[in-house]
Structure 1
């Protein structure tokens, strides 16, 4: 890409740095690949903040594959410093760090909520190993968990026993007695699980 840029550069105009500094753009110009003629304002900002000789030294010190990143970083920092002479790009960095911290906090809260839902789901749908049951509480005392929509059905219409774990903050769950039968779903056509029983 740099070779094709050099061919175009010599046929048209010098790079932004040489144009601004009013000098001839040589074939080995360190600025040419990073400050094309149409990016004159970027070079003016970089020159005003860092100085052309300092930028030239820096670009010569970094590895060739890192020069493009170095030049774009210098241009960004110079433009930020011109817009905000006191903080420069530090203000943008601080704002982004605060956003990352806020998003991390939201992610942690969402993960904690997900864990609570998973615990509620496990307590609502896995049978009690001990086999103990408690009397069914009044409908207002039944915990409402989004993962346990069964808890919203009035107790007198439920053919199940309420299992009360007795733990604070843990969802109660229900055990379906073996006498309750479920209708068989015969609407599946071939290949359905349980077919041919």
Structure 2
């Protein structure tokens, strides 16, 4: 991706020549500058490089997607990041479980009323 074609988003943002073996080129295409800018702002270039070098090539795409997600979460919520999102979702799950329990209780109550009416002949 580097070399003669347009530089990747990383090299474009950092204003450097994109080499053919640029570690960022497969994951940060030149037309998606925002994605790299966000990850760079949160993690920094050297940390992104270290992370990608320590991840097997076949898993780097997933690593980049995780970095982008975490960077986005950190920009929206600098204190909690992904943990804030997870905590919020856990709270929603608990609230929905409580609502479900109430509805199940109401359904059981209605079924019992109907069964009582049916067995007592409507009296």
The TM-score bracket by the shorter chain reads 0.7 to 0.9
Unpaired runs of 5+ residues, structure 1, are 1-5, 121-142, 156-197
TM-score, normalisation: structure 2: 0.76
Larger relative helix fraction: 2
Q: Is 2:32 aligned against 1:30?
A: no
Deviation, structure 1 residue 93: 1.5
TM-score, normalisation: structure 1: 0.51
| Map 1:51-66 → 2, pairs under 5 A | 51-66=44-59
Q: Give CA deviations for 1:59-106 in whole Å, capped at 9, x if unaligned.
A: 110122221121111122222222222222322121111122233444
Q: Is 2:56 aligned against 1:87?
A: no
Unpaired runs of 5+ residues, structure 2, are none
| Map 1:1-197 → 2, pairs under 5 A | 6=1, 12-107=5-100, 109=101, 113=105, 116=108, 144-145=113-114, 150-151=118-119, 153-154=121-122
Aligned residues: 122
Partners of 1:24 and 1:94 in 2: CA distance: 42
Could you say what the CA RMSD is over the residues aligned between the two structures, in angstroms?
A: 3.0
Are the structure 2 counterparts of residues 148 and 32 from structure 1 closer, same or farther at C-alpha, using a change threshold of 3 Å?
farther
Are the structure 2 counterparts of residues 150 and 71 from structure 1 closer, same or farther at C-alpha, using a change threshold of 3 Å?
same
Are the structure 2 counterparts of residues 144 and 24 from structure 1 closer, same or farther at C-alpha, using a change threshold of 3 Å?
same
**Is this contact kept in 2: 1:17–1:35, CA < 8 A?**
yes
Q: Give CA deviations for 1:23-60 in whole Å, capped at 9, x if unaligned.
A: 22122211111111122112112112211011001011
1:38 is paired with a residue whose SS is coil
Larger Rg: 1
1:89 is paired with a residue whose SS is helix
Higher relative contact order (CA 8 A, sep 6+): 2
Partners of 1:110 and 1:150 in 2: CA distance: 24
